[in-house]
Amino acid sequence: MPRALRVLALLAFVLPIAACDSSEPEPEPVGETPPAFQIASVVVPFGDGTQGLQFAATPNADVRIVRVDVRNPLGNTTVFSPQESIILSGESVPLQASNEAYVRVSGNWSFRFVGTRAAGSLASFDVTTPLSVSARVRN
């Protein structure tokens, strides 16, 4: 009888280990949702009478922006680096140097934000936000 108990004890030990050895892979960890940016634009006059555009971005999370690639509808890209080290959620940050503006071109602009979260996971992000600019002048 002791031999039968040994076999049962061995089976009781081996079966749970075999059951744990699943061939299914572990699920991938769910990544953190990157921050979103709302873009606002305003038409400004240049000294020669033509019009320019100034943009501001408002993130939905505290972020550190390393760079913003501003691409106009003609396909030209300007790289801008904000001076602020941390932009708080809901705070607007200009996307051009002070007293500067982009040449006004109607169509689809895109803004690629590269940076990291300023709190929590400190995860990096690379987010592109589009903006359609109308040719109409509002009064």
Residues 24-59 have pLDDT tens digits of 776 655 678 999 999 999 999 999 999 999 999 999
> What pLDDT does residue 83 have?
82
> What pLDDT does residue 87 have?
95
CATH topology of domain 37-131: Immunoglobulin-like (2.60.40)
Q: For residue 28, what are the contacts with CB-CB under 8 A and spacing of at least 6?
A: none
CA dist 135 and 73 (Å) reads 12
> What pLDDT does residue 31 have?
72
pTM, full prediction = 0.75
pLDDT tier at 139, thresholds 50, 70, 90? very low
> What pLDDT does residue 30 have?
62
For 65, the enclosing helix (H) or strand (E) is strand 63-71
